[in-house]
């Protein structure tokens, strides 16, 4: 199989879909690897490193899309890239289709087969290809939130850990999964007063057992969220419903009850955001204000630490990429039901229920798609 990796073109996206190590593994498995020139520079990987790994360098993304049997990326294909996809081609990347009807429409029209990192599962019910980026985004959230809280950036002018005689920032983390846990750990490590809200009692028991008094837990009822939001200096939105649009947990009306200059960090923005006033921003212009509350809603937060993120993502995606290349997508998905859960689009039909529900599009079961 020819595996192609184009340079990411989403604004301020510095990650790359394949590391030189992944390219080396693919070549050792008998495949050809085609990397667009400069694709790895943002993550610190030069073309020469890919050549040493056995890959070939393509002059343009057009060359990569035209020649490759499988396209491996990081972010969802942008409009210009979607026009280059073709029937029978395999796309393996993050898609986040539920809040993105235009991308969904284009992928269906292309006839390609698209497997989304964020809906591949594992035997424990986790999301192994989303987890490394969730870890990065979770750890970044308090860092960027602390920056947003600085007065020069429009925030309240509150220091996360306070100082002797002055209390710390109050941080509410909505969601106790991978993002929320890592965000709470870092925020607490910065000295903040942190409360994590979740609807799963077993998850809260786990957090309480493991982290003890490092941070507090509360049940994520609407009343508790509203009450804590009024006192919060920072709110981290870390809620995920796999493949589906994120629920709106703080309304615009609630902003007027919050402290002026408080910071909302929406890590769920890839799935539409979990605050009603959220809209995707970029690293170039990350923060905006609504009703006196500062919003940080960068849709590719891990891109800020591109090298760490690229290596972490590559470690997770490599086994799946090799399985798809070695066996072809049908056999690979037939052998691994968790990889089959990643199938979102095939030959003009949607194959992921949560996306279909969000966008009002009929869905073909992935099991039937295997036989189509």
Report how far residue 53's alpha carbon sits from residue 232's, in angstroms, rounded to the nearest whole number: 49
- Which of these is catalytic: 96, 182, 295, 346? 96
Show the tokens assigned to 284: 């170039």
270 a catalytic residue: yes
Angle at 176 between CA 173 and CA 180, to 5 degrees: 55
DSSP labels for 213-228?
A: TSSEEEE--HHHHHHH
Sign of the torsion formed by the C-alpha atoms of 61, 62, 65 and 67 = negative
Residue carrying the six token digits 């993105």: 100
Please list, in sequence order, all residues whose beta carbon lies within 8 angstroms of the beta carbon of residue 20, skipping any fewer than 6 positions away. 40, 45, 49, 50, 52, 53, 55
Question: If DSSP codes are grouped into helix, strand and coil, which group holds residue 346?
Answer: strand
Neighbours of 280 (CB within 10 A): 14
Q: Which of 117, 74, 118, 107 is nearest to 350 (CA)?
A: 107
Report how far residue 331's alpha carbon sits from residue 71's, in angstroms, rounded to the nearest whole number: 18
Show the tokens assigned to 156: 């309240």
Please give the sequence-ordered ranges of beta strands (E in DSSP) within 42-201, or none if there are none: 56-58, 70-72, 90-93, 113-116, 170-174, 193-198
96 a catalytic residue: yes
Please give the sequence-ordered ranges of beta strands (E in DSSP) within the chain, or none if there are none: 2-5, 32-36, 56-58, 70-72, 90-93, 113-116, 170-174, 193-198, 216-219, 234-237, 263-266, 287-290, 293-296, 343-346, 349-350
Which residues on adjacent β-strands are paired with residue 293? Answer: 290
- Which of these is catalytic: 106, 193, 266, 270? 270
Active site residue ranges? 96, 270
């Amino acid at each position: 199989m020819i595996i192609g990796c184009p340079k990411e073109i989403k604004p301020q996206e510095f990650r790359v879909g394949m590391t030189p190590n992944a390219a080396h593994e693919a070549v050792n498995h008998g495949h050809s690897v085609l990397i667009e020139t400069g694709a790895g520079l943002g993550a610190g990987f030069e073309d020469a490193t890919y050549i040493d790994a056995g890959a070939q360098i393509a002059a343009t993304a057009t060359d990569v899309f035209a020649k490759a049997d499988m396209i491996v990326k990081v972010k969802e294909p942008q409009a210009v890239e979607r026009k280059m996809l073709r029937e029978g081609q395999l796309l393996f990347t993050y898609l986040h289709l539920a809040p993105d009807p235009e991308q969904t429409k284009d992928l269906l029209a292309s006839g390609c087969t698209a497997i989304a990192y964020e809906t591949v599962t594992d035997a424990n019910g986790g999301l192994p290809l989303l987890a490394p980026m969730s870890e990065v985004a979770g750890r970044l959230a308090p860092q960027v939130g602390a920056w947003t809280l600085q007065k020069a950036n429009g925030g309240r002018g509150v220091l996360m850990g306070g100082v002797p005689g002055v209390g710390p920032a109050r941080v509410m983390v909505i969601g106790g999964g991978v993002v929320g846990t890592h965000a709470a750990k870092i925020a607490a490590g910065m000295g903040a007063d942190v409360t994590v809200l979740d609807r799963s009692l077993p998850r809260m028991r786990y957090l309480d057992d493991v982290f003890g008094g490092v941070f507090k837990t509360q049940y994520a009822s609407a009343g508790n969220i509203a009450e804590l939001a009024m006192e919060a200096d920072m709110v981290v939105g870390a809620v995920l419903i796999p493949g589906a649009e994120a629920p709106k947990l703080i309304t615009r009306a609630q902003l007027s009850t919050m402290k002026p200059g408080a910071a909302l960090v929406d890590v769920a923005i890839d799935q539409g955001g979990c605050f009603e006033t959220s809209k995707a921003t970029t690293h170039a212009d990350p923060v905006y204000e609504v009703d006196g509350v500062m919003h940080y809603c960068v849709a590719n937060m891990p891109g800020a630490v591109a090298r760490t993120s690229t290596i972490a993502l590559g470690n997770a995606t490599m086994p799946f990429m090799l399985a798809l290349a070695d066996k072809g997508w049908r056999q690979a998905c037939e052998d691994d039901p968790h990889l089959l859960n990643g199938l979102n689009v095939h030959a003009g039909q949607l194959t992921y229920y949560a996306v279909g529900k969000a966008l009002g599009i009929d869905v073909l079961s992935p099991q039937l798609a295997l036989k189509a």
